[in-house]
Amino acid sequence: MISGFFQLIKRELLLAVRRRGDVLSLLVFFVIVVSLFPFGVGPELETLREIASGVVWVAALLATMLSLSRLFANDYADGALEQLVLLPMPLTLMVLAKIVAHWLLTGLPLALVAPLLGLQYGLTGVPLLVMSLAIAAGSPALSAIGAIGAALTLGLRGGGVLLSLLVLPLFVPILIFGAGAVDAAVHGAAFGAHLLLLSACSIAALVLAPLASAAALRIAIE
């Protein structure tokens, strides 16, 4: 069962390599959105430092949203999802493998790129590190919560819009804690509590989301 779990992750990564344009488009979107704000706000470093945390996190949420609709849709369209359901392993474990692969392809790259973009906002040192850690700690929750929305809207017309309406309100706590961690680091305050809350949200989401997603997938397939 554990071997099958890692094989599913490997499968998702190999499919992503074949469609690497999708992954690159997310990073390009993230970079463009974050880079455009300094041109609109102005060159004042104090202003840029104040808005840096919110801008980066909102851009990360939007970039994650772009890929959620494809989490199960491709497998559903070509019939592979029905074959995956028939595998001798729990459906929840299969969903968890897809969530982990989605994080490896979206959340982790965003966490690695974010500090470089933070330099545009006059951030240095600890705030840049906290920004990377916050996205790395909070993005698993985004992938897990997004999996629920993707499963619930699977096969529906206009599912992308409905998906956004379902998951964006649930993303708000992650946005608040993530932006708060970076903002606290910028002002020299304690940021450990924010990172712990982000980690707790991610752990809870990774435990509960596969159960809800698996139930929604069974309904969609039937």
User: Is the pLDDT at 80 greater than 80, yes or no?
Assistant: no
Query: In this structure, what are the phi and psi dihedrals at residue 88, rounded to the nearest 5 degrees?
Result: -80, 55
pTM of the full predicted structure?
Answer: 0.88
Three-state DSSP at 79 gives coil
pLDDT tens digits for range 126-143: 888 999 999 999 999 999
Q: d(Cα 111, Cα 64) in Å, to the nearest integer?
A: 12
Cα distances (angstroms) measured from residue 78 to each of 8, 74, 146:
17, 6, 21
Tokens 């819009």 correspond to 161
| Residue 80, amino acid | A
pLDDT tens digits for range 7-57: 888 888 888 888 877 788 888 999 998 888 888 887 788 888 888 888 899
